[in-house]
Amino acid sequence: MNYRHAFHAGNFADVVKHATLARVLDYLKRKPAAFRVIDTHAGLGVYDLSSDEALRTGEWQGGIGRLIEAEIPENIAALLEPYFETIRDLNSDDAVAAYPGSPEIARRLTRRNDRLTLVELHPRDYEALFALYAGDRRIKAVELDGWLALGSFVPPKEKRGLVLVDPAFEETEEFATLADGLAKAHHRWPTGIYLLWYPIKDATKVRHFHEDIKASGIRRVLRAEFQVASGDKDGPLTGCGLLVVNPPYTLADELKLLLPWLQKTLATGPGAGHRLDWLVPE
Ligand code: SAM
């Protein structure tokens, strides 16, 4: 396990993932019934953007760094508000010194009765995650393989909620594991919302992954893909994708507005683009 998210926190891929995550959580709060967030690959929870890791790559500057400098039209600002709220609440002034990971976004955008299950396998990251939320009875941090958690923690007792699956993609088989894990979890809990993140580096692997999802029989799968520039297998990450199973009915229209603006704001070169469609419709 060499992957450390501290090198990448706040980069363009985090912005796309976290802005979408915040939209889903905002939607879940429209109903009073409590819900659960299960984060199978949780990371540290909060990232220090002045850490050695963050300084070494500077990736956040091409992500959240660009967003906070941008002029944001009103309709986009309204959609980004829950995401920005979590960043504002974490930082005391206008500068962004700390960046919220998915656990912190979920913590800040959930209510008294909502619960979070955070799963992290890296011992050091787990320790930090556990310490960060030790005083919060709504949150349970678990040191476990996220793929096991995906199979065994659903359905949650609330029967409403979201499973975020955001693997490190260090293993060659991780796309197949992701498709298989989703199929098993969906079988146990077909009405849950699932948000899956994946890198776009190797087009063949991504195509096979999509074929596996289609073959699983799961319906209502929204696909959002995003490129800041064209890239290749061996170069740095320039594209990422999200699959949302059972998305809130509002999400496709929201992403239709958000993605073009994010593309304009985060693009770094030729080949920047996005796509939003139903990988599998109703
Ligand atoms: N979801 C986090 C966020 O948005 O802030 C970022 C997660 S990062 C992309 C992937 C995390 O998965 C890393 O912290 C890594 O240590 C952890 N990890 C790697 N393999 C794992 C496994 N099998 N089970 C659980 N966590 C794992």
**What pLDDT, on a 0 to 100 scale, did the predictor assign at position 2?**
86
- pLDDT for residue 232: 86
Cα–Cα distance measured from residue 181 to residue 188, given in angstroms and rounded to the nearest whole number: 11
In the chain, pLDDT over 70 holds for what percent of residues? 100
Average pLDDT over residues 247-274: 97
Q: Is the pLDDT of residue 1 over 80?
A: no
In which element (H, E) is residue 215 found?
helix 203-215
Provide the 3-class DSSP secondary structure of residue 140: strand
Name which residue sits closest to atom 7 of ligand 1, judged by CA.
43
- Å from CA of 277 to ligand 1 middle: 27
Distances (CA, A) of 189 to 39, 76, 152, 154, 161: 15, 33, 11, 6, 10
pLDDT at 234: 87
For 61, the token pair is 């500057």
Query: Residues near ligand 1 with C-beta < 6 Å?
Result: 1, 3, 5, 17, 39, 41-43, 101-102, 119-122, 125, 145-147, 166, 168
| Distances in whole angstroms, Cα of residue 267 to Cα of each of 47, 58, 172, 235, 254 | 23, 16, 28, 16, 20
Q: Residue 62: is its pLDDT beyond 80?
A: yes
CA distance linking residue 132 with residue 145, whole number of Å: 20
Q: Domains plus CATH for the chain?
A: 5-280 (3.40.50.150)
Could you give the 3-state DSSP secondary structure of residue 247? coil
Closest CA to 3 of 199, 185, 163: 199
How far is the centre of ligand 1, averaged over its atoms, from the C-alpha of 203 (Å)? 23
Upstream peptide bond of 270 is cis (omega within 30 degrees of 0): no
Q: With cut-offs at 50, 70 and 90, classify the pLDDT of residue 276.
A: very high
* Ligand 1 centroid – CA 32 distance (Å): 30
Q: What is the mean pLDDT of residues 180-205?
A: 97
Structure tokens at 127: 């320790």
Is this complex scored with an ipTM above 0.90?
yes
Q: Which atom of ligand 1 is nearest to the CA of 168?
A: 10
Annotated binding site for S-adenosyl-L-methionine: 18, 41, 102, 120, 145-146, 166
Positions marked active-site: 166
pLDDT interval class at 233 (50, 70, 90): confident
**Coil, strand or helix at 61:** helix
